Amino acid sequence: RTRDHELVVFHDHNLLRMCQVDRELSDFTLRELRSLRLKGSDESIPTLAEVLSLVHGQVPLLIEIKTASDVMAIARSVDALLRQYSGPYMIESFDARALLWFRMHHRQVRRGQLAYGIPRNGPYPRTLLNRLLSTLLTDILSRPDFIAFDVRTSSAISLRFLRLFRPWMVAWTVKTQKEIDDHRKDFDLFIFESFPAR
């Protein structure tokens, strides 16, 4: 969310990787963000309303709500936009509070808990929040409809335990056909990026 509370579609909290500006996105107003360009292209960061208008129900959407201090307010704003949208969508987040908001206020929306294991030499720091996420203890609050787990940490004990209950399991982020083949028995769906067309 921008400094003036506009919802935008952007992966990172910081603008450095995509816009070559080493500042937080939330420091900028929407008008200020409009002056930045993505990876040297002519494109700028779109608002969620613009993306919804562009997609216009043609394909299903999986919308991730990023963790933030005001994540409940963001969830409320996202929901307000989506209630005017006629296409199919689901919500996912690492932050159980966002999923809890939808559970309390718009229960019909399918919710997914993003999670990962924390191997000793893995990609994630061993913070308290990451430990809670990796053991899926936050699910007590969020009661997700599906679990979306990092395919790189799919051997985590918490995930092996979850498979006993057979929730709807989704793997992220898959980048090769081999990863799909290796994990086809473990997951129901795959979220992919940079995937080469056959």
pLDDT at 134 over 50: no
In SS3 terms, 35-91 reads as CCCCCCCCCCCCEHHHHHHHHCCCCCEEEECCCCCCHHHHHHHHHHHHCCCCCCEEE
pLDDT at residue 197, rounded to an integer? 60
Per-residue pLDDT averaged across 124-134, rounded? 53
Q: What is the pTM of this model?
A: 0.82
* Predicted confidence band of residue 194 (pLDDT cuts 50, 70, 90): confident
pLDDT at residue 156, rounded to an integer? 63
